[in-house]
Chains A and B, each alone.
Chain A
């Protein structure tokens, strides 16, 4: 009887241990799964890569129960032409990043060379006692044969040994990171190709009209700057930039003789010029990725007082993009030479814009323009790739007489 009770007791205590061990494993698996979901969700190509890797480092540290996590992205992984490693770490590194790199870098380059163990997951495990470095687990971030970087887990808590489960987890994360980097690279190259094509297209419009040379690019930059001064950024600012680049694309449908005419336009000629926003909107309307730019292109000549074209929209009806382009367009037009007048000095252009707040321009945007640092903007223009800067214009001249005329 006593024996039976004893047996039952020991069995139930064994079962309790088993349940606890199952629960622990299950909790770890849940943790891992939820981390991987999180990484996949954060894998947005427009995400800031350094922020993404910081998140990896922090979560990985907790998941693996280690004192530190070190992520190193090799040169040219994020930015082409970059010569330095990008280093992100969390926790207390046992030695300097340079010491760690010196220790592990040769192993990463040698195929099959294996300090302790090289498992099928490509992870390298380092035992403690290597110089002052403790135990380390390293997973390379690979694209095919190319090494983009590496993720390292350093010094497991409570002195346990790294095992295969740690290695699998780490290499799993490294694979997700590699996919993220690949997407980031492809997105960047697609974006450069797209913007390059758009620039080529708009330059060809600008080329028809030597007086507005580089105008589209400058309006794009100015408009972007203006919305940034209003606190917008990222995708929104980029869309405004693109809209600025394309705003005059409809001029392709306006006779060159009219665009290049040095004298004042006749009423009929001006009617032709006034068609360019409508033509431009028609050109881009068919492209799905540019649908959202149509309102900006179509209405960039509308005025707050309803006297603009093509639709004579009132203040509240003019789309935001269009209001921004309108200010950017006018500012650039005033500060560059035109067939019928010389460029205005920046200060004078500013006061013209200020004077037209509420009638021609959105007062909120005018406020942003007044915050614009002109010398800084001009310096930025000079360094910006693809901007043609007309000789002499954009300098802060002291006095130029100017009269308002049709701004095309």
Chain B
């Protein structure tokens, strides 16, 4: 492996952070400490961490309704994440967004969205902006197999292809759009095939193997940076929990779940690191312990944080405008 021990341990730590964070969220949902809906990323960790390790800090990502992993992989902090999920004032979005709307625009995370497929054109616009401002930034646009059946997927790929924009479309194919299997609702099973209609290259990688994801995305990122336009990368993956907490998972078998559990990206990567004598079992246990402590400390921070002040309900709907542009007394 060409990465340093430090880098590789960092990837493992990030994936563990995501897994333990999601397990904690499940627990807090059950206790009704977290309200509302949360779509958990457990099982898909290698995609977000692998993809984000292939870009630079000032590059952009757009996320999805299943976006906790993307946020953490892009450098998001566990306490602010957990506080946001709990609707607290200290969260990334001051508790206004919750699970489905986490963004950290200053860190290049242009946000999650509650509407499937709706961030594809936003990613295209960010790539247009990067190109026009000549910043050499690229955009990683995460979305699921379900989103690739939505009309805006096609509008977005077409626009990015025509304008040769620096965007990598990262399809997380976890086989299901909520309960409906891709084989029951998509005309093709390799979502990468959909790139053909837009004359852009596509690649398929093992979404359970972080290094495979990283290498594949890296090629697409290099292409984008060189001005050669977008690529569609499909990562074959699986979500371990149901679509949301109320999902009994009647649409898939226990055998299938077990099969994918055996491909766990964290277990696989840990084994590889041990086999290659990069980390010892003890070192891995130590990393897991650090993750556990970090998640627990995030939980504590979130629970102890105050709720937003109700007086702030109507703040930030509009950006402030200078007086010469706006009559401040008008009704909005």
A binds B: no
* B interface residues, Cβ below 8 angstroms from A: none
List the interface of chain A (C-beta within 8 A of B): none
